[in-house]
């Protein structure tokens, strides 16, 4: 009776892993087809059917997770998939089973694991007299220690990285040691039955020498990985030093800005002090003027130090310029303004500055807080009482009644916002102010 021959698709970028698993599957009358990437496996499955797919996890291009998702969403969704990887752990097993995998075949590749998977998929049934895990007749067809180690190392380096290297190497070498001892016992049993004792002893010695060489190679690989980590640590330290240097530069820039703000604040204070001094000088002048007027007058009544508007609004005189041309007055709301000889508010011919192009947006002037000013022949404006001056670099400006132009100077000015006069706020109106005779 002819036994049915099954087909298995082995998807792995390691040619060694494929050859070892393919040779093991041949013991169970299973033909192996090779695909070295997820993309090639999917292309093959479009036109061919297989009985089982052994799928590696870590591969260039599509990895095992992406490949199994596409297989299970294609016409081959019913084909059983077994993950062929060194990846371990309950979380990984649970994840791939949720995606449709039958399980995981470790890349340590023991006969027991292979037979367990094949029995589960009903691709092989042991004879009644042959227990599970019993190897088939030809020992040479099973993977050698060298092949098993190479398959595992390739898969391990794809799926893991140091610091797990040391523990995995120790586990692999322990497995190799156990396999070597087991293999040696079997060979010793064969030595007692055959005339090839010397040949078998030499083979055991060769396996032992290979194991020693493997230990030495693994240690060298561990040293190389350690050196890589040291280089990365040095690079990280250099990056931290650079960040500290940049932070120090930022702190220096912050200190420079604080010094600049302090200088501007000192300039503001100096300008306001000069303006206050000027008002005080005008106040002294008006007092001297009134005192002189009182001495020259033969009448008993004193002239009033107040002015009155056409509508009867009353303001207080607080200063007169040295030339006597301008009178400084104070409204009941506390706003200062200057009156010319004709009784009208003086045209101060102030420059108006703007922080936007084409003289748009709010206007700003160089003036003290709480003053009413005339700009042009018909425009009154004011600066709010108790308002603060700020250092600005204007973008455009209007000088007196001239047209708007671009501000091309580099100076930073101390400015206050200039608002359209509101009589309810300032107590000042655009009218004639006069002094009543006694």
Q: Supply the pLDDT for residue 165.
A: 47
Ordered by start, the domain boundaries in the chain are 1-127, 304-434
**Of the candidates 370, 367, 349, which has an alpha carbon nearest to the alpha carbon of residue 415?**
367
Residue 430's CB: how many other CB atoms inside 10 A? 14
CA distance 77 to 70: 9
List the structure tokens of 62. Answer: 């599509």
Model pTM?
Answer: 0.37
**CATH code for the domain defined by 1-127:** 3.40.50.2300
Q: Report CA torsion sign: 418, 420, 426, 428.
A: positive
DSSP string across 279-305: HHHHHHHHHHHHHHHHHH--SSSPPPS
Confidence grade of residue 302 (pLDDT, cut at 50, 70, 90) = very low
DSSP string across 265-277: HHHHHHHHHHHHH
Cis peptide before 163 (omega within 30 of 0): yes
Lowest mean pLDDT among 101-105, 193-197, 308-312: 193-197
* pLDDT tens digits along 199-220: 675 876 788 788 788 868 877 8
Q: Supply the pLDDT for residue 392.
A: 93
Q: Supply the pLDDT for residue 228.
A: 84
Give backbone dihedrals phi and psi of 265, rounded to 5 degrees, phi first. Answer: -65, -40
CA distance 63 to 233: 30
């Amino acid at each position: 009776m002819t036994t049915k021959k099954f087909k298995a698709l082995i998807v792995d970028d390691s040619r060694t892993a494929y050859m070892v698993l393919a040779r093991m599957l041949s013991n169970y009358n299973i033909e192996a087809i090779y695909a070295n990437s997820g993309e090639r496996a999917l292309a093959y499955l479009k036109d061919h059917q297989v009985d089982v797919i052994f799928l590696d996890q870590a591969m260039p291009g599509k990895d095992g997770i992406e490949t199994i998702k596409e297989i299970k969403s294609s016409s081959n969704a019913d084909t059983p998939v077994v993950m062929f990887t060194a990846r371990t752990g309950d979380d990984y097993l649970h994840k791939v089973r949720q995606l449709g995998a039958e399980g995981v075949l470790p890349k340590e590749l023991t006969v027991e694991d292979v037979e367990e998977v094949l029995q589960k998929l009903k691709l092989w049934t042991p004879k009644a007299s042959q227990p599970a895990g019993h190897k088939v007749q030809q020992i040479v067809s099973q993977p050698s220690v060298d092949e098993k180690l190479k398959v595992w190392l390739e898969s391990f380096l794809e799926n893991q990285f140091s610091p797990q290297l040391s523990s995995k190497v120790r586990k692999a070498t322990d497995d190799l040691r156990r396999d070597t001892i087991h293999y040696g016992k079997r060979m010793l049993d064969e030595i007692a039955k055959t005339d090839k004792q010397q040949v078998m002893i030499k083979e055991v010695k060769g396996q032992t020498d290979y194991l020693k060489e493997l230990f030495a190679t693994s240690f060298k690989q561990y040293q190389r990985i350690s050196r890589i980590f040291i280089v990365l640590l040095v690079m990280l330290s250099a990056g931290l030093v650079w960040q500290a240097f940049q932070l120090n530069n930022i702190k220096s820039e912050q200190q420079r800005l604080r010094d600049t703000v302090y200088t501007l604040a000192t300039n503001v204070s100096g300008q306001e002090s000069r303006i206050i001094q000027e008002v005080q000088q005008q106040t002294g002048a008006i007092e001297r003027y009134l005192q002189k007027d009182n001495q020259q007058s033969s009448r008993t009544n004193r002239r009033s130090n107040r002015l009155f508007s056409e509508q009867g609004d009353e303001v207080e005189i607080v200063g007169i310029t040295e030339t006597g041309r301008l009178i400084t007055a104070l409204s009941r709301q506390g706003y200062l303004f200057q009156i010319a000889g004709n009784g009208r508010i003086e045209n101060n011919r102030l420059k108006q500055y703007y922080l936007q192009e084409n003289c748009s947006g709010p206007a700003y002037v160089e003036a003290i807080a709480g003053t009413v000013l005339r700009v042009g022949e018909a425009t009154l404006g004011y600066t709010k009482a108790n308002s603060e001056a700020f250092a600005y670099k204007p973008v455009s400006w209007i000088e007196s009644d001239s047209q708007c132009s671009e501000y091309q100077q580099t100076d930073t000015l101390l400015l206050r916002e200039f608002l359209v006069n509101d009589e309810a706020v300032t107590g000042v109106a655009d009218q004639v102010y006069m002094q009543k005779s006694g």
